A and B are shown apart, each in its own frame.
Chain A
């Protein structure tokens, strides 16, 4: 029952403001793509276009290759869960979930029987008779999810559905979404501004900024091989080390780091994630520097180091994430090195 979803050169403007520019994105059948972007980057607009609630100014939306741009929302077979649950206040929980089936002409009894199955899936079968006002926020959101699933959509669109939930509940919802993916295998587009959520739930991440897709790649790849400094920053990368490529080696204050052999010579930014760097003894390291800041965050500590630079090099600050608490204090000298051997650069 799942299908592929394709945006083909979709643009949208509200009046003179261009909110989406030439978006081309493919979501394969049964996969989960996260749309990651800051507030106002156009994520919800793109989702509303996918659901048929908003006609795009230009471009096409395709489901299984078929152009559905002109198909109305009620005929499009997409399920949309908004940031807020938006349950129908005049219907009980079970009737909310049975809504789609009732609208499709199902009998009351049969629709409710189906609805109970979906309520069981989200573990709210005991709450079937309640009214929406008598649920907690997390329960309401689960009902909203069940209601969308009960339509058996070919594509499930989730617009920051968990952003209003507390951390514990959010973890529960991640589990639930895992279960749903295993049991129903829907195609999912998940909108979020939380890169951790995107990484936990999605197969691939598409980074959206100012209405444009900067990069769309599998989760690990987009973290370690960002296409631009902007993508690196949006995914939480803290390091950009300016240097020069000569014969497949990046020379900078961080030392000599091998990069992909086909990288052209010239200036380039090395972008090692803070998790990919490590502190070493000052003696043996290819790069040394002075600790300028130590910021503990629970099980990890972020250490900022200003690297010693040769006369012809830029001064460089790097951040290193260390497990536990390092025996260092500000002003200490430390070595810094890359875990593994190859680095990722973007030519300038």
Chain B
């Protein structure tokens, strides 16, 4: 396929305009990653002599365990946030005034910092927390904070991020969908069918994008697991922050190794996500019979 020269020069110009920004991002992130890598290999010690060492990476079992916990947390939180966020968006689109109220309430949670939200969830769900007291069952109340399933952490992430998901979905599909759901209603589709057969397929792309963002964010965020999770095992984010803030300055390389593992997991997931979206786009194009 040949590209017309006008188009080629236009795309070159677009590339040139974007270049300064891209360069800056690549420089900053590249430098940070390189520093982290060097430090994890013992080249940039806080004190003492630079010396190559893979010691920081030696405790592979513990790194892997942390990675596993992080993956579990991010996956569960993202899945729950996607479901709740989609339901909120669908309700906002179809339920008129009541729906707009729900959307506004959900959007109002976005500026609350995760630290504050985690604290609130802790006060609400802890063994001696608000809910347990209100329900009058300090004994029988399930352990949600600091439990081995990380329930409170996942709930906190899902609550906060579902608002973000709802906002992205609403922005991504918006008003035309309200008209399409009305059309579906006149064609005999029940409320549930309208949600599954009209809103969900149209929200697939915004859901995918929001899901990737939420996943990467929850992977790197440490406040909620640090406040609401059990002491051990640690997810990567908590481990990295603990090691980085440790009084023992020699644990700095290990902190860097942990952070780099987290980056690697995030990059792998982003790559997988992009691959999946591209494939689904290609499939839908093939379905519609367009050759490209």
Q: Interface residues, chain A, CB within 8 Å of chain B?
A: 51-53, 72-76, 78-80, 82, 84, 86, 88-90, 92, 99-100, 102-104, 129-131, 134, 147-148, 151
A104 cross-chain contacts in B, Cβ below 8 A:
188
Complex interface: chain A residues within 8 A of B183 (CB): 80, 82, 86, 88
Say whether B182 contacts A92, CB under 8 Å. Answer: no
For the complex formed, measure the closest distance between the CB of A72 and the CB atoms of chain B, giving whole angstroms.
Answer: 7
Chain A residue contacts of B197, Cβ below 8 A: 99, 102-103
Given contacts A82-B179, A86-B179, A88-B198, contact A100 B187 (CB under 8 A): yes
* Pair count A-B, CB < 8 A: 70
Point out the residue from A89, A92, A100, A134 that lies within 8 Å of B188, measured CB to CB.
Answer: A100
In the complex, are the beta carbons of A51 and B186 less than 8 A apart? yes
Contact A99 B187 (CB under 8 A): yes
On chain B, the number of residues with a Cβ less than 8 Å from chain A's Cβ atoms is 21
A90-B201, A129-B289, A134-B288 in contact; A103/B187 too (CB < 8 A)? yes
Task: State whether A130 touches B288 (Cβ < 8 A).
Answer: yes
B193 and A103 within 8 A (CB): yes
Q: Is the CB of B187 within 8 A of A147?
A: yes
Partner of B189, one of A52, A90, A103, A131: A103
Q: 7 closest Cβ contacts across the A-B interface?
A: A131-B288, A73-B185, A100-B187, A80-B186, A90-B201, A103-B189, A86-B183
- Contacting pair B185 A79 (CB below 8 A): no
A88 to B201, CA, bound (A): 10
Q: Is B38 an interface residue (CB 8 A)?
A: no
Contact, CB under 8 Å: B198 / A53: no
Q: Which residues of A contact B202 (CB under 8 A)?
A: 89-90
Q: Are B186 and A53 in touch, CB under 8 angstroms?
A: yes
**Contact indicator B288/A79 (Cβ below 8 Å):** no
* Min C-beta distance of B287 to chain A, whole Å: 7
Besides A99-B184, A103-B193, 5 other A-B contacts (C-beta < 8 A): A73-B186, A79-B186, A86-B179, A100-B187, A134-B290
B148 at the interface (CB under 8 A from A): no
Closest to B285 in A: A131
Chain B binding surface SS class: helix
The answer for the CA separation of A130 and B287 in the assembled complex, in Å, is 9
Interface residues of B (CB under 8 A from A): 179-180, 182-190, 193, 197-198, 201-202, 284, 287-290
Q: Give CA–CA (A82, B180) in the complex, Å.
A: 11
- Nearest CB on A from B191, distance (A): 8
Of the candidates A52, A75, A131, A151, the one having the most CB atoms from chain B within 10 angstroms of its own CB is A131
With A82-B183, A86-B180 as contacts: A151 and B198 at CB distance below 8 Å: no
Q: How far is the CB of B60 from chain A (nearest CB, A)?
A: 45
- Minimum CB–CB distance from A77 to chain B (whole Å) comes to 8
Distance, CA A129 to CA B202, complexed state (A): 19
B180: which of A73, A75, A88, A130 is its contact (CB, 8 Å)? A88
Contact A148 B187 (CB under 8 A): yes
- Chain A's closest residue to B202 (CB) is A90
Contacts of A73 in B (CB 8 A): 182, 185-186
Can you show 18 pairs from A to B with CB atoms below 8 A apart?
A: A52-B185, A52-B186, A73-B185, A78-B186, A80-B183, A80-B186, A82-B179, A86-B179, A86-B180, A86-B183, A88-B198, A90-B202, A102-B197, A103-B197, A129-B289, A130-B289, A131-B287, A151-B187
Tell me which of B184, B186, B289 has the highest count of chain A C-beta atoms within 10 A of its own C-beta: B186
Rounded to whole angstroms, the CA-CA distance of A260 and B201 in the bound complex is: 64
A245 and B288 alpha carbons, distance in the complex (Å):
70
**Residue contact A148 to B186, C-beta cutoff 8 Å:** yes
Least CB distance from B268 to A in Å reads: 29
A103/B182 contact (C-beta < 8 A), A90-B202, A130-B288 known: no
Cα distance A79–B186 when bound, in Å?
6
Most buried by B among A99, A100, A148: A99
CB-CB nearest in chain A for B182 = A53
Bound Cα distance from A75 to B188, whole angstroms = 6
In the bound complex, residues from chain B placing their C-beta under 8 Å from that of A134 are 288, 290
Cα of A129 to Cα of B287 in the assembled complex, Å:
8
Closest to B179 in A: A86
Q: Is the CB of B185 within 8 A of A151?
A: no
Residues A74 and B288 in contact in the complex (CB < 8 Å), given A82-B179, A86-B180: no
Q: Is the CB of B185 within 8 A of A74?
A: yes
